[in-house]
A = this chain, B = another copy of it.
Amino acid sequence: MTNGETIRVSLVEDDDEIRDALAILIDATEGMKCHSTFGDCESAIESVSKDPPDVLMMDIELPGMSGVEGVQKIKTARPGIDIIMLTIHKDDDLVFQSLSLGATGYLLKDSQPDDILRAIRDVRSGGSPMSSQIARRIVVSFRKAEKSPLTKRETEVLEKLCEGHSYKMIGADLFVSEETIHFHIKNIYQKLQVHSKSEAVAKALRERLI
């Protein structure tokens, strides 16, 4: 994919001026080369699948297919490409979504040339360029719930549920009767406001109770 020297960069950006400016900047830089450019997602997906660059810079707001959707498609077709989103808003839900769908980092459109080049090198050397505001959002969504409504025992039972155990198996594991597990689970349902094992597991994992 990479030849160890020149980073091949492709661009997806509907604004001609911005696209050309970026292309010129990249081509003028030692160790980088503008591989291809596109005005919309659809044509980018097609071409990039056949002839992938190392890094793809993609506008987040595009006519037609959105950049967010594009990330998903391109990353599925070519997981090796590092995708940097281009955006005008520095703290945006779309940025957050793009990252969760496969983008590696993002860059503000009004960044200085130096920052742009740094971001490109950064993704290639294993980093994720992003603002600390976005980083915070990701860190928070990644954290365990700091306090759970469940008791210690209930949490233990919930963990077993998440491993797919039946009442009987959990009882055996915790050295209590199946009926006791039944009892704990009823309380868990009450507290989490759910009515089945799968719903409890989903809630527990989504809210990081365990």
Contacts and interface: CB of A to CB of B under 8 A. Distances in A.
A30 to B, nearest CB: 21
Interface in A121-178: 122, 126-133, 135-136, 138-139, 141-144, 146-147, 161-164, 166
B136 A104 contact: yes
B195 A100 contact: no
A139 to B, nearest CB: 5
Interface stretch (A16-24, A40-48, A52-60, A199-207): A199-207
A163 B195 CA distance: 11
Nearest to A122: B132
Contacts of A161: 198
Per DSSP, are chain A's interface residues mostly helix, strand or loop, or mixed? helix
B132 A127 contact: yes
A98 B85 CA distance: 28
Looking at chain A, what size class is its interface with the partner chain? 35 or more
A106 to B, nearest CB: 10
A132 B132 contact: no
Contacts of A195: 164
Given A104-B136, A131-B127, A147-B76, A142 B198 contact: no
A79 interface: yes
Interface of A: 75-76, 79, 99-102, 104-105, 122, 126-133, 135-136, 138-139, 141-144, 146-147, 161-164, 166, 194-202, 205-206
Query: What are the nearest 7 A-B pairs in CB distance?
Result: A164-B199, A127-B132, A128-B136, A197-B198, A128-B135, A205-B205, A162-B202
